[in-house]
Structure 1
């Protein structure tokens, strides 16, 4: 019997970060010195005595296979495409990076079993005007350039961008990131995006769960803007604002709004516009203003009304909970749950237990939380997707057919 186990230092660091444990906490639990744990995390591999390895596995609560498998997806906090607020700590940023890295490896595992959709998201120069950038994305996705995107989440996933929902309290770390959710409350950040996988070619969006369909759609569009325009990373305040303008333009092209919105609209007149395009009044007002479709004076007047007018349904201001807040269901991703069905015949993370995967059960739950299951949205208008047939493990194959939004005619 082998007396030692070769352990990858990066894996020890990843597991510790995911578990939200400090070096001191792990050291005390193991009865080690700081220097030994630090050396282990910084080393490529270390031969640990079997007894020490078993202790490490027990303390960090990751399967033994995780520590002995070479890491392939590397994500540094600076790779994350979002402008971190001052309130977020370096430890939290590291957690977000390592969570993305492990998600990337999970996606690679799915891809080896059943090919994920090819990535069809243009990488654009950051100097590209947002209207041109949004039009380029719509064209790449085969959508009309002048119509609403009915189910944005589906279009994102259909074109190879994976979406993971992040709940307030994660199973794997018991870490709380952001404030308790409410439709109008701001939190530390709503989402982030990054390219993951062995070759950093799979775009990933991690978005926090929300009860607001307006917030969810706009956040997803915002992250698409980062992925398309900011492939180099280094998101600053200017680029964050650019992604925001892109999000509104992707959801509601200003050139089309110019024919639908009067030069001095009321909030009541904008409600049907909100409903048609699937964009909040707050984002719509700013979009109209920055697109020169709303004067400074009218914009300020409408914004004041937004935050003073009472929504009698919710007893809050319109700016906090807008009319129409419950007119749509909150969009939820489907890609990961669908691929679990095809690759493992699994409809939940619990059903993955027999497959001897390297991720702990609670982390698999974090990968799959918030995913839709069963038939895809609006199957009545489903058409054959251009993705090719995908071979299943075993003796049969399936073709994934997903619905699409309005396509260019």
Structure 2
């Protein structure tokens, strides 16, 4: 396999501060700055220029001087070639992604997460040039976009029932939810533990060009919350054409997730008429949903009163950490861990000798970043020198 040049005719040895200045892509600076969670003012301070100058670099009004290019690369932890124009990209904004509690999520964190999603798209695009991934089997998906309501009811619970039927899930528990989503063409990603978004932003999703769900690490300590987040984001993808971040959309996505994971017709006969947390603990493992979610489901279905549910939540908090009431990490459930991108890379590696270094060159990234997003480790032997 031969490496693809970032700019036709531009070899790796020809990438100099002057060549990067001449072929500077303003959007790449914006993406890298957001990934680093730096404001224009902060970046300007590190560069010794004005915030207005950084703004002009990002809008394309002017370009950074050649002598600033190496400093930019160092500050933003990218190779100089990252800033070169000519690579496929996807620009996202908040209207294109569904964030939990959009208004309470700081702007810098939203922007960083969107830049992360952009990089996932670039990586997915590079892999899809080599490997045919599962076709998107999502109602309303056409031409690289999802058009909610096209094939499913707009009512959340009914839409969940219809999608279960379409995916042949029957009326029982949904096993291996994340892997099932991937098998139906939805790219699912769990960011590296070191990624700043892993603990600061809840799960989010975006519709285009391939539906993407990012399940952040702040719920990876509890597989049941993790699965509900995945189903919640799936609800956004099939119900909502625009991300407003309002309470209505969040309630609808929750209602979709509850019905998708625990269909009323199936779960209601199994729920206790009187609050029985031990019984709910058994149902938790069988159905893959949290006890908290099951208590809410009991109240929602009219089996218990608001007062009873409040007392049940108090008792549940007191039992936290006890056998049967301890969170179970996602790491113990392979079917809830995304593998689509890693397996696509491994298949391309077997078929054509693709390496993370090849992808890094093509994407203009560091190889370490490629390995992080693919969740693969450097297989080279480590040289250890004895002191």
Same fold (TM over 0.5): yes
- Structure 1 equivalent of residue 173 of structure 2: 148
Instruction: Please tell me whether the aligned partners of residues 79 and 234 of structure 1 are also in contact (alpha carbons under 8 angstroms).
Output: no
Q: Given the superposition, is the C-alpha separation of residues 47 and 252 from structure 1 closer, same or farther in structure 2, using an over 3 Å criterion?
A: same
Say whether residues 1:59 and 2:59 are aligned partners: no
**Superposed CA offset, 1:168-192 (max 9, x none):** 531xxxx3653xxxxxxxxx54311
Counting matched residue pairs gives 342
Answer yes or no: is the 8 Å Cα contact 1:5–1:49 preserved in 2.
no
> Is the contact made by 1:62 and 1:359 (CA closer than 8 Å) also made in structure 2?
yes
2: CA distance between counterparts of 1:167 and 1:216?
15
> CA 1:57 to 1:299, structure 2 compared with 1: closer, same or farther past 3 Å?
closer
CA distance in 1, matches of 2:102, 2:244: 14
Matches within 5 A, 1:390-401: none
- Counterpart in the other structure of 1:103: 120
2:365 is the counterpart of 1:359: yes
Deviation at 1:248?
Answer: 1.7
TM-superposed CA distance for 1:86, in Å, is: 5.2
Report which of the two has the higher share of helix: 2
Kept in 2: contact 1:148–1:252 (CA 8 A): yes
1:108-123 aligned at under 5 Å gives the runs 108-123=125-140
1:172-183 matches, within 5 Å, as 175=196, 178=199
RMSD, aligned α-carbons? 3.0
Contact 2:222 2:327 in 1 (8 A): no
What is the CA–CA distance in structure 1 between the aligned matches of 2:110 and 2:303, rounded to whole Å?
A: 38
Unaligned runs of 5+ in 2: 1-13, 141-147, 378-387
TM-score normalised according to structure 2 size: 0.78
In the alignment, the residues of structure 2 paired with residue 310 and residue 367 of structure 1 have an alpha-carbon distance, to the nearest angstrom, of 33
Q: Is the 8 A contact 1:165 1:370 kept in 2?
A: no
- As a proportion of its length, which structure holds more strand? 1
Question: Structure 1's 143 and 69: CA in aligned 2 closer, same or farther, altered over 3 A?
Answer: farther
Task: Report the 3-state secondary structure (helix = DSSP H, G, I; strand = E; otherwise coil) of the residue aligned with 1:81.
Answer: strand
Among candidates 24, 33, 55, match of residue 41 of structure 2: 24
TM-score normalised per structure 1: 0.75
Distance in 1 between the 2:299 and 2:242 partners?
29
Structure 1 segments unaligned to the other structure (5+ residues) = 179-187, 372-409
CA deviation map 1:211-231 (0-9, x unaligned): 211121111111111111123
- Equivalent residue, structure 1, for 2:385: none
